[in-house]
Chains A and B, each alone.
Chain A
Amino acid sequence: MPDLLIILLAGLFLPLFPLSMVFNALLDRIQHPWLRSVLFIAWPFNGLFILLYSQVNLPDWLLALALSTSALYAFRMLSLREVNQWNQFLATSLWSLLWLPVMQDTPPALLYGYAIGMSVPLVLLAFLSAGLVRRFGAAYTGLTTGLARTIPRYSGLLVTVVVAAIATPLFPSFFIMLHLVVDSLSVMPLVAMALLLIWLLWSWAGAQLIQGLIVGRASDIKIADMGNTTITLYSMVLIALVVGGIILGGVIL
């Protein structure tokens, strides 16, 4: 298979603009949390598998395209109000950065570790978003406000998952981003600067999402909060993510 075709195929799974629009169009049509979760895990794996299996030579311009895609989606996240859409844009922004470690010849096991570390918070957010839709009919910021007062446990978890997704310490994405910055700074300072800018945009978008959902007066209608078992399950995954993040950080830094 010609190299360009392989790159195009990989660009579909490790989204590169404009191929990233295919992934987003697909996710727009899939609303079921389980299906979305499978996609969130499997999609970047496919891209990594294609690139690692084909051993294709990657041209330098791909790096610029990958960074531009990540920055574009991070910037577009600032004006999103729908949680599912926010989640898939973040996925696009995160996974397009996987081109960097691929081009830096990172060992395959680590690459898959990166993909998992980036995707697990997205899976959790997909389920939480579905929970919001079940409770309120939609998961829009600004429309469903005051969650911290209406369903405090649910919103606490939502906030933690968003914080995990936007590469906050001690979650895996933080260590991945730090590693990417350290690795690229000596050879490509502009790439490191771009990475830091994208990271900043995620924080901005994350704060916008949190504020649009949890802040405000409590709803007059009684809404069921999250049960103990579900809370425990989510918490265990989050703790596993933190532990995984620390271990990953120890390995790569």
Chain B
Amino acid sequence: MEQLIIVVAALPLISALLIQLFAGRIGRSIARLSVAATTLSFFISLLLLWWALTGHEPQALPVGNTSAIMLFDPLSTLLAMIILGISLIVHIYSVRYMAEEAGYGRFFVLLDLMTAALLFMVIAGDLITLVIAWYLVGVLLYFLLGQDTRSQTAYRFAFWTLITYRIGDIPLILAAALLYNAYDTWSLTSIFNEIMANPGAHQVLGLPLPEVVAALIGLAAFARSAQFLLHNWLPYTMDGPTPVSALMHAGIVNAGGFLINRFAPVFVHSGDVLHIIFFVGLITAIFGSLLMLTQNDIKKALGYSTMGQMGFMIMECGIGAFSLAIYHMFAHGVFKGTLFLSAGGVIHHSRKDDGIPKDELYTFAVEKAPNKVHQPWLLMAAITLAVPLIILVLAHLLIAQDYFQKQGAIVLLFFGWVTGAQLIFATYRMRTQNIWRLVGLSVLSLVIVVLGYVVISHAFDLFLYPDPAFRVQLYSAATIDLLRFDVLVGVITLVVVSGWVLTYYAEQKGLRRRQQTKRLWLNFYALISREFYIIDIYTRLTRTLLGFSGRLNVWLRWL
């Protein structure tokens, strides 16, 4: 019955072929066919996930007499269900949303092909199928983003996506070739078994093979998940149809996290690579969040928000919390998909509202809204910093006593604390007559979120990596020298705490910036608003290359 996983991936493919064949005869009913196939596939994926949850052993399933292998395991069943869930919502949304657009049939063909490619990617049990699916996702996304064939802009940015994805294909192909040359098989299961049994058996250019392969897989994941310097395509691909943006931000962009999880048996022997992955994720999270704050276009802000989230997801892998990255992927997929699909509604609503910011006199005199209540700033700062930490520590103590022995867990706690404190600070700045009630409510919601996250992430850990020894190996691979770790955490905590205390103080006292600080601040803002000039550099580089290509053609007389 596990063979059904192949049917799950094949159904959208069959649907795409049928639509292509019969689009002329059945007209707009093609959408129903597409939705029906995706629904059926989704329900089968639910069934498969249930089997995986109830203890069916993972299996590598050969496809006929070919060398292609599909995997039935916790990761593939869970991700197949997530992909199909998001794809189904996007399909249903698109039935009416795309009705007035030209190329209705083409859109559903591409959407089904994309769903199939994503499914084959997550269930691939051999390197060739994985490389093919990985490659095709980039090509199909290019055409989906360019659904509006009148728009040069849509195609320009779709091209950015394509070229970044193609750059990301290179390390994956190299990793696949290295593994094949070393182990003489394309089967992922066989390769991983051999690596687990003897990780130091092969070397590449004097380096252990697992380290080299892990670095290459990491690079492939960076390109797919829009990590810093390979991120420009993500916020700019907003000219594509909204359902495609939703699918892209909720599903496709998460592929980096999936890839790292799939190659977990390689990463347990590549601690140094995990540290680099953590660092890249951290930089991406910071830059993504920073850039998001300066956007005045809702879709672009969402794009940078996705970049930040992808940074967090990759960072989680870097600290050995692989299953948490999958949970993050799932949670982010659901909320970002919702945000994109409702972005149109928000824009529509904002057209009815003049959007002019109201000053305090207006809100007090016309709207009868209360003035902001100021509480003692030191007390509020202390609550903001202490409450999230207490909640996080207690929640984790409930789940696992030994939690605080893992460095990765401390890093996660740290980020949980930063986010929680951010939430309370934001609440504190809201206008209300009863600040204590608001803070109380936000603390309550924080408790629910943290408990939910702790319980669910623990459940994901048990489901995806049932072997406790392997889980320990993953965390210990990501561990760094204790002294360095403690110093790092201490310094960052100090920076964050001082930043908040200063902000609170400035908020309360209404301090104005000095002229010199103001200029510095404006320069910094200009730098962010130009997105650190990265796009300008890439554009200049592209133009130089194209110009040189043209000059070569002239010199060689176009022969």
Interface residues of A (CB under 8 A from B): 20-21, 24-25, 28, 72, 75-80, 85, 146, 148-149, 152, 156, 159, 163, 168-170, 174, 178, 181-182, 185-186, 189, 192, 196, 200, 203-204, 207, 211, 214-218, 249-250, 253
Contacts and interface: CB of A to CB of B under 8 A. Distances in A.
A146 B155 CA distance: 12
B162 A207 contact: yes
Nearest to B67: A250
Q: Which of A75, A163, A181, A182 has the largest count of B CB atoms less than 10 A from its CB?
A: A182
A149 B173 contact: no
B451 interface: no
Contacts of A196: 170, 173-174
Nearest to B66: A250
Contact of B556 (A21, A85, A203, A204): A21
A21 B180 CA distance: 38
A168 B166 CA distance: 11
A189 B559 CA distance: 30
22 contacts: A72-B552, A76-B549, A79-B547, A85-B558, A146-B150, A169-B131, A170-B132, A178-B128, A192-B177, A200-B166, A200-B167, A200-B170, A203-B162, A203-B166, A211-B152, A211-B155, A211-B159, A215-B146, A215-B149, A215-B150, A215-B151, A250-B66
A182 B180 contact: yes
A196 B545 CA distance: 18
Interface string B516-559: 00000000000000000000000000000111011011001011
Nearest to A80: B553
A138 B473 CA distance: 63
Given A21-B559, A168-B135, A196-B170, A207 B142 contact: yes
Closest 6 CB pairs of A and B: A148-B149, A79-B550, A79-B549, A21-B559, A169-B132, A78-B549
Interface of B: 66-67, 102-103, 106, 128, 131-132, 135-136, 139, 142-143, 146, 149-152, 155-156, 159, 162-163, 166-167, 170, 173-174, 176-178, 180-181, 186, 205, 545-547, 549-550, 552-553, 556, 558-559
Nearest to A147: B149
A10 B520 CA distance: 65
B148 to A, nearest CB: 9
A73 to B, nearest CB: 10
Contacts of B128: 178, 249, 253
Contacts of A181: 173-174, 177
B149 A214 contact: yes
A103 B102 CA distance: 50
Of listed A80, A169, A174, residue having the most chain B CB within 10 A:
A169
A152 B104 CA distance: 12
A186 B159 contact: no
Contacts of A217: 150
A191 B142 CA distance: 28
Given A149-B149, A181-B177, 7 more contacts: A21-B559, A28-B558, A78-B546, A168-B135, A169-B131, A204-B163, A207-B142
A145 to B, nearest CB: 9
A76 B174 contact: no
Nearest to B142: A207
Nearest to B153: A215
A75 B559 contact: no
The secondary structure that dominates the B interface is helix
Contacts of B152: 211, 215-216
Contact of A185 (B155, B156, B181, B559): B181
Given A163-B139, A168-B139, A215-B151, A76 B553 contact: yes
A244 B167 CA distance: 27
A182 B181 contact: yes
A177 to B, nearest CB: 9
A149 B162 contact: no
Contacts of B132: 169-170, 174
Contacts of A204: 163, 166
A163 B181 CA distance: 28
A156 B163 CA distance: 21
B174 to A, nearest CB: 7
B162 A78 contact: no
A39 to B, nearest CB: 15
B219 to A, nearest CB: 12
Contacts of B558: 24, 28, 85
A144 to B, nearest CB: 14
Contact of A253 (B67, B150, B181, B205): B67
Contacts of B546: 78-79
Contacts of B186: 253
Nearest to A211: B155
Given A79-B546, A217-B150, A178 B173 contact: yes
Contacts of A250: 66-67
B24 to A, nearest CB: 10
B159 A207 contact: yes
Most chain A CB neighbours (cut-off 10 Å) among B66, B131, B146: B146
B163 A203 contact: yes
A159 B106 CA distance: 13
Contacts of B67: 250, 253
B553 A79 contact: yes
Contacts of B173: 178, 181, 196
A214 B154 CA distance: 13
Contacts of A80: 553
Contacts of A174: 132, 135
A119 B117 CA distance: 27
A203 B552 CA distance: 19
A84 to B, nearest CB: 11
Contact of A192 (B174, B205, B547, B550): B174
A21 B136 CA distance: 34
B555 to A, nearest CB: 10
A21 B135 CA distance: 33
A178 B131 contact: yes
A250 B62 CA distance: 14
A197 B53 CA distance: 43
A186 B559 CA distance: 35
A24 B559 contact: yes
Contacts of B205: 189
Given A186-B181, A192-B177, A76 B150 contact: no
A20 B103 CA distance: 41
A174 B169 CA distance: 13
B163 A207 contact: yes
B361 to A, nearest CB: 51
Nearest to B159: A207
Nearest to B178: A185
Nearest to A22: B559
A36 to B, nearest CB: 16
A180 to B, nearest CB: 10
A229 to B, nearest CB: 15
A149 B106 CA distance: 13
| Chain B CB within 10 A, most for which of A170, A186, A214 | A186
A230 to B, nearest CB: 16
Given A80-B553, A178-B131, A200-B170, A25 B149 contact: no
Contacts of B181: 182, 185-186
Nearest to A185: B177
Contacts of B559: 20-21, 24-25, 28
